[in-house]
Amino acid sequence: MKAQSKLLEYLNTRDKYLSNALKLVREGEFRKASELLWGAVALQIKLLALVKKNIRLATHKELRRFMRELVKELGDPELYKTFHLVEKLHTNFYDEILDPEDFKLYLEEALKLIRKLEQLANM
């Protein structure tokens, strides 16, 4: 029951972050949108870890480790490349490293990663 409650929390928060991120993108607020997109990605990873392995990830380091293990299991190095690319969204919130003209690429990759992880979780 507790795990089910956590799953719903992750799912609802992921959807809220994603919705707010897309709204901020339309408004040209790429820096703020970056962190919400990263949050949506992180929550999708947490969802997958809970559904498939019954583990809760708490830190950025744990997210990275889980993704490395997942890539090894699946034999899909592109998955980790995508994860590594979208990690820059988190940094962008603090240091504004992404050019607004390039933001669309990061948005597309984040959405692609969320969809792929969602499929892996059979959700």
pLDDT tens figures, 20-59:
999 999 999 999 999 999 999 999 999 999 999 999 999 9
CATH of the domain at 66: 1.20.120.330
Per-residue pLDDT tens digits for 55-89: 999 999 999 999 999 999 999 999 999 999 999 99
- For residue 1, the model assigns a pLDDT of 53
Residue ranges making up the domain that contains 47? 2-120
Residue-wise DSSP of 1-58:
-HHHHHHHHHHHHHHHHHHHHHHHHHTT-HHHHHHHHHHHHHHHHHHHHHHHH-----
Q: Which amino acid does the sequence have at 113?
A: L
**How many domains does the chain contain in total?**
1
Yes or no: say if 33 and 93 are a contact pair by the CB < 8 Å rule.
no
Per-residue pLDDT tens digits for 105-119: 999 999 999 999 999
